[in-house]
Amino acid sequence: MCGIVGYIGNREAYPIILNGLKRLEYRGYDSAGVALYDGSDIQLSKTQGKVADLEKKVSKEISTKGTLGIGHTRWATHGVPNDINSHPHYSNSGDLVIIHNGIIENYAAIKKELSNRGYTFKSDTDTEVLVNLIEEIKKQHKVKLGKAVQIALNQVVGAYAIAVFDRKKPDEIVVAKLGSPLAIGIGDNEFFVASDATPFIEFTNNAIYLEDEEMAIVRRNKEVKVRKIKDDSLVDPYIQELKLNLEQIEKGGYEHFMLKEIYEQPSVIKDTYRGRLLAEQGIVKLGGLEDYIQKFTHADRIIIVACGTSWHAGLVAEYMFEDLARIPVEVEYASEFRYRNPIITEKDVVIAISQSGETADTLAAIKLAKEKGAFVYGVCNVVGSTISRETHSGTYTHAGPEIGVASTKAFTTQITVLMMIALRLAKEKGTLSQRDYMLHLNELSRIPGHVEEALRSDDKIQEIAAIFKDASNFLYLGRGYNFPVALEGALKLKEISYIHAEGYPAAEMKHGPIALIDEQMPVVVIAVNSNHYEKVVSNIEEIKARKGKIIAVVTEGDTTVKELADYIMEVPKTPETLTPLVTTIPLQLLSYHIAVLLGKNVDQPRNLAKSVTVE
Ligand code: AGP
């Protein structure tokens, strides 16, 4: 996700835009840029790096005069972070300039058509394609900017929050929204447009939040006009009086970034499979994978290297790849793999999983695998990160910046990408019946709704957290696809509440851990619909017989475990292979609420860093 900001009014635009970008940096920070209208032409400056880098470049490069401007801080999705791919982007004529937060899925087809009409492109971005589509429509239909934007947006597929202006008509900014947020601040003869209210909250607390498929034209000293993109019909906008302070807005009104990111999961999982999971057509389309499919299908094995939560996602992938695509998988802690002189050949495929794309151990494991001739594929969240550049190819998770040190949306979006890879490989190898393949695609497309439903148990989970917040130890148990989720649940609790917790395969209890069970030991058991269900029920009975306290994650409507457990956390029914995407939700919330009740620093836990770039 990126940050966009714009201003039109009677004040100098640049200071407002620059300060606004600094406040929006939490939304993305790999490059930044600004375009100002100085009274006769557009002054544009942009750079890879942070807003502070932009500020330095602007001071050397352009005049900052003018009362109209737009600015952007980027979280790359298409095109690596560099000066050229930074926003704003000019149209070919230089008349139009645009900033964009989102993804235009059909940009390649549009780009081809525009190239055939003589358009050229400096960047690799979908955004530059959009501004030239608007320009072409403006020329062809001989219409004003607003109308051209409306026609263009009816031709694109994807998500966007855009702001665009025309140097030949510098008394308006046109904005539009679908899938990415866009707020309009209404001042006294001045307007602000931004991804959220942080850039303008000290100037006005009157704001319009555009709805999906709405656009608006903000004109100097005029009323704002809101229209429906579909049919250009006028909308009577609801003007909100904002009561949030700056920090509350950055966190989307949530108390912590971690909770915001837990609640973002339905929408970011959609972003992860947007344009890639075409369930109705029975297609999984992963750009980075298509050219290397044979490497995977002919591989002796897949070796997954990662750390922490990403390693847990790798363990889930082991079940998926072996179960669905019948490819042998080994999952390795990157820190162990890099030093144990592993046997690797050209017939191996290595998948490196990393949210930050900067984890030193994972990077070292990648280099070792490449030296030994393996093909290395990355699953990263940060476009242009070191790991994404070191791997031969890869797929980005598109989760947007994860600010909380404890990974949450990184985990579920990694699993979403890995499931799409497993399904694409299963399709290629014919190891799944067409029926099961289509079932998986359809069920995967329903996951955001299931996660929404799992989040609705938040209040109940908060009550459970209050009961167990003073425990000294926890056990987390799961089987099959949910054994890695048990490990992940234990890690979440450890790293933000500092309570010791261990994850185990449920069947392992009798090989030692059951000696730990007594009234003081809360045991979280993942007991959802699965092939192991009856076995897990037996494990629960073993724990109950020893007076352990049982908190069970169950499929909604479960009556058996409900009778046995002391507390239950319900999740919607999903195919076993997809259960990790929903069973992890109550575990995230349980650890979050315990940590908050204990007064811990949830977003920046002690001793931890968001990215471990050293050994
Ligand atoms: C998980 O909550 C932790 N933040 C940590 O274990 C993290 O998953 C690990 O350091 C790997 O980070 P990466 O995904 O950025 O490589």
Read off the pLDDT of each residue in 333-346 and give the average, rounded to a whole number. Answer: 96
Instruction: Report the distance separating Cα 273 and Cα 139, nearest Å.
Output: 35
Q: Which of 493, 443, 442, 496 is nearest to 468 (CA)?
A: 493
The architecture of the domain spanning 251-453 is 3-Layer(aba) Sandwich (3.40)
Examine the pLDDT at 78 and tell me if it is beyond 70: no
Q: What is the mean pLDDT of the chain?
A: 95
Rounded to whole angstroms, what are the CA distances from 585 to 264, 407, 420, 461, 580?
11, 12, 20, 10, 9
> Which uninterrupted H or E stretch holds 59?
helix 51-61
Q: What is the dihedral of CA 116, 122, 126, 130, to 10 degrees?
A: -60
Q: To the nearest whole percent, how much of the chain has pLDDT over 70?
A: 100
Query: In the structure encoding, which two tokens stand for residue 583, read together?
Result: 């069973």
Query: In the structure encoding, which two tokens stand for residue 231, read together?
Result: 């049919």
Instruction: Report the distance separating Cα 320 and Cα 302, nearest Å.
Output: 12
Examine the pLDDT at 29 and tell me if it is beyond 80: no
Least confident of 70-84, 198-212, 464-478, 482-496: 70-84
Q: Are strands 522-527 and 473-478 parallel, antiparallel or unpaired?
A: parallel
Instruction: Report the distance separating Cα 216 and Cα 183, nearest Å.
Output: 11
User: Between 76 and 316, where is the model more confident?
Assistant: 316
**Is the Cβ–Cβ distance between 485 and 493 less than 8 Å?**
no
Exposure of 591 in the CB half-sphere (CA atoms within 13 A): 34
Read off the pLDDT of each residue in 245-270 and give the average, rounded to a whole number. Answer: 90
**Predicted local distance difference test score (pLDDT) of residue 612:** 79
350: β partners: 303, 376
Beta carbon of 360 within 6 Å of any ligand 1 atom: no
Confidence of residue 379 (pLDDT cuts 50, 70, 90): very high
Least confident of 369-378, 431-440, 603-612: 603-612
Instruction: Report the distance separating Cα 103 and Cα 126, nearest Å.
Output: 7
Q: Which ligand 1 atom sits closest to the C-alpha of 387?
A: 16
**Is the Cβ–Cβ distance between 154 and 229 less than 8 Å?**
yes
Q: What is the pLDDT of residues 397-438, one digit of tens each?
A: 999 889 899 999 999 999 999 999 999 999 999 999 999 999
- Output the CA 378–ligand 1 centroid distance in Å: 15
Q: Which ligand 1 atom sits closest to the C-alpha of 407?
A: 2
Question: What does CATH list as the number for 3-248?
Answer: 3.60.20.10
Q: What is the pLDDT of residues 578-593, one digit of tens each?
A: 999 999 999 999 999 9
**Is the Cβ–Cβ distance between 2 and 73 less than 8 Å?**
yes
Instruction: Report the distance separating Cα 473 and Cα 463, nearest Å.
Output: 18
**Chain centroid, CA 106 distance in Å:** 20
The one catalytic residue in 139, 469, 535, 610 is 610
Q: Which of 574, 604, 390, 408 is nearest to 489 (CA)?
A: 408
- Output the CA 413–ligand 1 centroid distance in Å: 13
Nearest CA to ligand 1 atom 4: 406
**Predicted local distance difference test score (pLDDT) of residue 1:** 73
Q: To the nearest whole percent, how much of the chain has pLDDT over 90?
A: 87
3-state SS, 78-97, equals CCCCCCCCCCCEECCCCCEE
Examine the pLDDT at 99 and tell me if it is beyond 80: yes
**Predicted local distance difference test score (pLDDT) of residue 64:** 96
Q: Known catalytic residue: 147?
A: no
Beta carbons within 8 Å of 209's beta carbon, 6+ residues apart? 181, 182, 183, 184, 240
Beta carbon of 310 within 6 Å of any ligand 1 atom: yes
Beta carbon of 199 within 6 Å of any ligand 1 atom: no
Q: Is 565 helix (H, G, I), strand (E, B) or coil?
A: coil
Q: Known catalytic residue: 112?
A: no
Considering only the top CATH level, what class is 456-615?
Answer: alpha beta
> Which uninterrupted H or E stretch holds 352?
strand 348-354
Quick check: do 3-248 and 251-453 share a fold? Answer: no
Examine the pLDDT at 363 and tell me if it is beyond 90: yes
Domain boundaries, the chain: 3-248, 251-453, 456-615
Beta carbon of 388 within 6 Å of any ligand 1 atom: no
Nearest CA to ligand 1 atom 5: 308
First-to-last CA distance in the chain?
Answer: 30
Beta carbon of 309 within 6 Å of any ligand 1 atom: yes
